[in-house]
Amino acid sequence: MQAAMHTHPTSEACARSAFTLVELLVVIAIIAVLASLVLSAVARARGKALSAQCASNLRQWGMAYRMYADDNNDYLPRRGQGVQTLSLITRPEDWFNALPVYFGLPAFEEMVANNWKPAAHSQSVFICPAAKDPGGAYFLPYGMNMNLSPWNLPLAAKFGEVTQPACVVAMADAPGPYASTYPSVQPYGIVARHSGRINLLFLAGQVQSFADSYVGCGVGDPGRNDVRWLTGTASDAQAHNY
């Protein structure tokens, strides 16, 4: 009997069982596309989470405004300094000193004195989680409406004097070195830091997100009926200066 013949795969068969260079490149390209899609989805989800936390912070400030007015004969806290970067933090009537007590926190002045001032990315009602500190003496990434209860008036504004508080902005995402903000081309202007959108707190307590172009980020107040920076009080006479 003849011995059984042993066959060996030919080089041609080996070539057919392996990936070609083109096939490897296609697989790598597919993996890269899938990875970019996953990373993009993760980034969007993270951005939404940061925006949601920011909105939650602003709602807490909204409740504090109402409670402060209830405790102070309907008067609102003052806006702090206007177009200047924040340097004066000793006035108890300014929002960053007057309102923290309603969260069980000390006034901002006291926090600074004790080296407790909130920093970027810290877990604090003062801090928008998406905000980066651009530098400056103090960092307040939320700013009060510059036209609401300013210091150029002898008395603070009263909650009940504000026309349509459901449409009047109380606080907004802001650059950080300022205590107050306004739609403007100036450095103190409102900031859309949530994928081209900005969170606004209205005086009645609700928080909404808007596209930057709708509210005038980096441009100026477009005069929307549903997003008002004018208050219907004596402060409106000076609003054109912002």
Whole-number Å distance between alpha carbons of 96 and 202? 17
pLDDT band at 2 (very low <50, low <70, confident <90, very high): very low
Order of all β-strands in the sheet with 169-176:
180-181, 140-145, 169-176, 197-202, 207-211
What average pLDDT does the chain have?
91
Task: Specify the pTM.
Answer: 0.83
> Which letter does DSSP use for residue 179 in this model?
S
Q: Which tens digits make up the pLDDT trace of 39-52?
A: 776 667 677 889 99
Tokens 């951005």, located at residue: 47
Contact indicator for 148, 168 with CB cutoff of 8 Å = yes
Query: Which pair of structure tokens corresponds to residue 199?
Result: 């969170």
* Weakest mean pLDDT among 7-21, 119-133, 176-190, 201-215: 7-21
pLDDT band at 16 (very low <50, low <70, confident <90, very high): low
pLDDT, residue 3, reads 47
pLDDT, residue 8, reads 53
pLDDT band at 138 (very low <50, low <70, confident <90, very high): very high
- What is the 3-state secondary structure of 105-141? CCCHHHHHHCCCCCCCCCCCCCCCCCCCCCCCCCCEE
pLDDT, residue 47, reads 72
Q: Which tens digits make up the pLDDT trace of 174-186?
A: 999 999 999 999 9
pLDDT band at 157 (very low <50, low <70, confident <90, very high): very high
